[in-house]
Amino acid sequence: MNLNEATLTIGEVAQRAGLRASAIRYYEDIGVLPPPERVYGGHRRYSARVFQQLAFIQLAQRAGFSMAEIQTLVSGFDENAPLGVRWRSLAEQKLAELEELIARAQGMKRILEDGIRCQCLNLDECIPLSDTNCL
């Protein structure tokens, strides 16, 4: 980091990113966020680039990636290979998981929609024993 570049404390980064400082330290500890420059007795100093890195981590979390998978996404590859090559195996695995999740969600949606239309008086009548049952 260039000394002329504006630096931020962990508290400033946490406040601007809407996170706790402990979350940022955790991300550093597990390797999903690179260690910051240390100055003045070991105090952390961050460049504005940290916000892009934190945004990626948060995006990956919202997309359903575990912290272990995020570790792989950010540091588990040959840095000279293109992103598509580096991420292919993990992406294929995650796509298969998503297909399974979508199938389960569609099944649940069908059951709920069928249940809304159900005119049975009790659950025994609804159990899917034949095509004539509700669910």
Evaluate if residue 78 carries a pLDDT over 90.
no
SS3 100: helix
Evaluate if residue 6 carries a pLDDT over 70.
no
- CATH assignment at residue 49: 1.10.1660.10
Q: Are residues 97 and 66 in the same domain?
A: no
Q: Are residues 66 and 88 in the same domain?
A: no
Q: Are residues 127 and 72 in the same domain?
A: no
Q: Domain limits at 104?
A: 84-135
Evaluate if residue 131 carries a pLDDT over 60.
no
User: Is-above-0.75 flag for pTM?
Assistant: no
Q: What is the pLDDT of residue 1?
A: 46
Evaluate if residue 130 carries a pLDDT over 60.
no
Q: How many domains does the chain have?
A: 2
- Concatenating the DSSP letter of every residue in 59-95 gives HHHHTT--HHHHHHHHHSS-TTS-HHHHHHHHHHHHH
Q: What is the pLDDT of residue 83?
A: 74
Q: Are residues 4 and 50 in the same domain?
A: yes
Q: Are residues 72 and 89 in the same domain?
A: no
**Nearest residue to 19 via CA among 47, 51, 46:** 51
SS3 45: strand
Question: At 59, which amino acid appears?
Answer: L
Task: Report, as an integer, the average pLDDT of 78-107.
Answer: 85
SS3 42: coil
